[in-house]
Each structure stands twice: as structure tokens, then as C-alpha cells.
């Protein structure tokens, strides 16, 4: 009877111990399943982030290719425009020499012509003498009997008449030469007008024509330049040609202004495309970030493998003590352009969203960060741009500010 009592007591103790052991095993199994589910969710989230990062990188790469293509086309157009400007500048330099040489020749011919012409007072005397001779001739013709021969003209009068005719012929020849030169310059001006950046040549030719027109108008005529002569069709035609050339000059200057505006617009477009290209290159996620995500996924996969293999199953109290162990906050990774940092503290260590921390290196304060996303064992904090005082690095200390 006494043995049976001891046996029952031992059996009860063994049963209780077995029950406690089974309970602990069940608790450990449930904890392991919870951690496994959480790790799987983290793995899915990181895989989604990696896919989004790869898609963003592909989109930015396509955008960069498009910007590079547009920039190349714009540079090609600008190079062609610069080549055209150089060619037209050479043509303009060659064309500018011709009007200058013709103007000097015209000046010399005009000086020679003025030196050979009679002064105005002598011309007036000639005109009076011609009028007297004409009246005398008319009187003698009226007084002569019918059938009589005409009275011979004296040698002096004949010499004066010949000299007068010679002066008139010289004047007509010189005037014709000047008008021919004006027509030649007009043709040169019309040929030069085709290039929109030859306004200097057009201005020089127009000035030459205007100068020749003024010289022609100021040249004393052997016939005293009567009002009828000033209003002759030739002078009117020359004036009309001068007005037409002035209009052509204005059109060429307007075309030059338009071309300059287009060149400035092309330069501004190139500058804009260059800025967009640099901004796009800066926004592309660097390969180091993608590598970091891949490393985190690999670590989580290893953790899942250990949990599934039963090597990390711990009693509930021990697991809680492990996850809530204090940790010194520090930077484990830095985002592109110091935009964000990854900290080694998470919700298991008391970190929460919108928490502010100070990043230091020794006694030097580098930046203020604010937690934007919290995970169990790590968190992501955005760097406040105004507080950045240097380049952040792995291993920098994070001090909790609030």
C-alpha cells in the first residue's frame, strides 16, 4: 500500500512535469510560427521594394536615354548652325572688300570728272552765248531771200559749239558710268541679301549707293540742272531703287534678329536638357542600395531556414529577453545623396514613427533625422536637409532627442 502511494505521487509528478514540458513546447512552437509569419511578411515587403526599385531604375534609365538622344540632336543642330555661321562669315568678309574697292574707284572718277567740268559762272556765260547765237541765226534765216544759200557760221562759233557738245558728251558718259556702277552694286546687294546674317554687307552697299546718289545729285550739270532734269524718269527710278534697297536691308536685319533669337532659344534648350539629365542621373537608385536590399533578403531567408529547422526555438521568456535587449543606436546604411539612413533599432528596441534623433561622429553633430518607417529590428529615418553638416557614414552614432 505504501509503495502504491509513492508510485502514484511519482506518476503525478511525472505527469505534471510532462504537462509543463508539453506546454512550453507548444508555446515555443507558436512563437516560432509567429516569427516565421512575420519574417515571411518582411521578405515579401523587401521583395516588393526590390521590384519597385528595379522598375524605377529601368524607368529612369529609359528617361536618361531619351534625354541623351534629345541632347545629342540639339548639339548636332547647334554644330550645324555654328558651321553655317562660320561659312557665312567668310563669305561676308570676301564680299565686304568689293563695295569698298568700287567706292574708292567711284570717288576717284568723280574727282576726275569734277576737275574736268566747267565752273558754274562759265557755264552760265556759255548758255547766254548760245542763246545769242540762236537768236542771230534765226534773224539771218528770216532775212535771207528765198532760194539763197544759208549764211556760213563763223569759226569761233563753230569751235564753241564743238566744245559744248564735247562737254555734254563727257557729262553723259560719266553719268552713265555712275549709274552702271549703281546698278552693279544693286545686283551685288541682291545677291548678298540671301544670307540672313550679312546685314553688315547690306548696310555697306546701301551706304555706297546712297553716297553715290548724293554725289550724283550734287554734281553740277552743264545744263544748270533744271527742275525738269531733277524730276526726270532716271532720277525717279534711282530713288525707287534706293527705297527698295532700304526695305531689303530692313528685311535682312529682321531675319538676323530672328536667327539670333532662335540661337538663344537653342542654347536655353540645351541648358534645360543638361539640367534635367543631371537631375535624372542624381535620382537613379545606385547599385549599392539594390545590393543592400539583396543582402537583407538573403539574411531573412537564412533566418527563415533556421526557424524552420528548429535551431532557433527558445522558451518564451528567453525569446522576449533577447528581442528587448538594449542596443546602442547607430547608422548601418546611408541612402543616396544623404537622403535617409537605416538605423539598427526597431520597434523591439523602443523606436517609433516620427521619433527624432541626432546623428553624431564623436563630438561632432552631423544631422537631425526623423524616423519614417519602423520595423522590428531596424528603422528608416529621413535626414532633415537644413540640419545636414557633412557626409553621413556607416557606424555614426544616433542619439535619441525625444
Residues 185-231: tens digit of each pLDDT: 556 555 555 544 555 655 565 566 666 656 555 554 444 444 454 45
Q: Containing H/E element for 356? A: strand 356-361
Using left for φ > 0, alpha for ψ between -120 and 50, and beta otherwise, residue 350 falls in: left
394 three-class SS = coil
Report residue 330's pLDDT band, with 50, 70 and 90 as the boundaries: very high
pLDDT, tens digit, 9 for 90 and up, residues 344-396: 999 988 899 999 999 999 999 999 999 999 988 889 999 999 999 989 999 99
How much of the chain, in percent, has pLDDT values that exceed 70? Answer: 41
- pLDDT exceeds 70 at position 41: yes
pLDDT given at position 97: 57
| Three-class SS of 95-157 | HHHHHHHHHHHHHHHHHHHHHHCCCHHHHHHHHHHHHHHHHHHHHHHHHCCCCCCCCCCCHHH
Q: CATH homologous superfamily for 324-402?
A: FlgT, C-terminal domain (2.40.10.410)
pLDDT, tens digit, 9 for 90 and up, residues 56-94: 888 888 888 887 777 777 677 767 766 776 677 677 666
- pLDDT exceeds 80 at position 50: yes
Q: Where are the chain's structural domains?
A: 76-142+154-268, 324-402
Q: Higher confidence at residue 314 or residue 250?
A: 250
Report residue 324's pLDDT band, with 50, 70 and 90 as the boundaries: very low
- pLDDT exceeds 90 at position 343: yes
Q: Containing H/E element for 235? A: helix 233-283
pTM: 0.26
Amino acid at each position: 500500500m505504501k509503495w502504491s502511494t509513492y508510485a502514484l505521487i511519482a506518476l503525478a509528478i511525472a505527469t505534471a512535469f510532462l504537462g509543463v514540458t508539453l506546454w512550453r513546447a507548444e508555446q515555443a512552437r507558436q512563437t516560432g510560427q509567429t516569427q516565421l509569419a512575420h519574417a515571411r511578411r518582411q521578405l515579401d515587403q523587401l521583395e516588393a521594394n526590390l521590384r519597385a526599385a528595379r522598375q524605377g531604375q529601368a524607368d529612369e534609365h529609359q528617361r536618361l536615354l531619351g534625354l541623351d538622344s534629345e541632347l545629342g540632336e540639339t548639339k548636332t543642330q547647334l554644330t550645324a548652325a555654328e558651321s553655317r555661321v562660320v561659312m557665312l562669315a567668310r563669305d561676308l568678309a570676301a564680299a565686304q572688300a568689293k563695295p569698298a574697292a568700287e567706292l574708292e574707284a567711284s570717288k576717284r572718277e568723280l574727282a576726275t570728272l569734277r576737275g574736268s567740268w566747267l565752273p558754274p559762272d562759265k557755264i552760265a556765260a556759255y548758255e547766254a552765248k548760245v542763246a545769242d547765237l540762236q537768236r542771230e541765226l534765226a534773224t539771218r534765216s528770216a532775212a535771207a531771200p528765198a532760194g539763197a544759200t544759208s549764211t556760213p557760221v563763223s569759226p569761233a562759233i563753230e569751235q564753241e559749239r564743238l566744245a559744248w557738245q564735247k562737254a555734254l558728251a563727257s557729262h553723259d558718259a560719266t553719268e552713265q558710268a555712275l549709274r552702271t556702277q549703281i546698278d552693279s552694286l544693286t545686283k551685288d546687294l541682291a545677291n548678298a541679301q540671301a544670307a540672313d546674317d550679312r546685314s553688315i554687307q547690306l548696310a555697306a552697299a546701301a551706304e555706297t549707293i546712297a553716297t553715290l546718289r548724293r554725289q550724283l545729285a550734287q554734281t553740277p550739270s552743264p545744263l544748270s540742272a533744271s527742275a525738269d532734269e531733277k524730276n526726270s524718269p532716271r532720277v525717279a527710278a534711282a530713288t525707287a531703287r534706293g527705297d527698295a534697297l532700304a526695305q531689303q536691308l530692313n528685311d535682312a536685319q529682321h531675319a538676323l534678329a530672328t536667327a539670333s533669337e532662335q540661337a538663344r532659344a537653342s542654347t536655353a534648350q540645351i541648358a534645360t536638357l543638361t539640367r534635367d539629365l543631371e537631375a535624372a542621373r542624381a535620382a537613379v537608385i545606385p547599385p549599392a542600395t539594390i545590393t543592400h536590399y539583396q543582402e537583407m533578403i538573403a539574411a531573412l531567408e537564412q533566418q527563415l531556414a533556421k526557424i524552420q529547422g528548429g535551431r532557433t526555438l527558445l522558451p518564451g521568456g528567453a525569446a522576449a529577453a533577447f528581442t528587448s535587449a538594449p542596443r546602442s543606436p547607430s547608422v548601418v546604411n546611408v541612402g543616396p545623396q544623404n537622403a535617409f539612413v537605416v538605423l539598427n533599432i526597431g520597434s523591439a528596441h523602443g523606436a517609433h514613427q516620427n521619433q527624432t534623433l541626432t546623428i553624431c561622429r564623436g563630438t561632432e553633430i552631423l544631422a537631425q533625422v526623423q524616423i519614417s518607417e519602423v520595423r522590428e529590428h531596424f528603422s528608416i529615418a529621413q535626414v532633415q536637409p537644413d540640419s545636414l553638416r557633412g557626409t553621413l557614414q556607416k557606424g555614426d552614432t544616433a542619439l535619441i532627442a525625444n
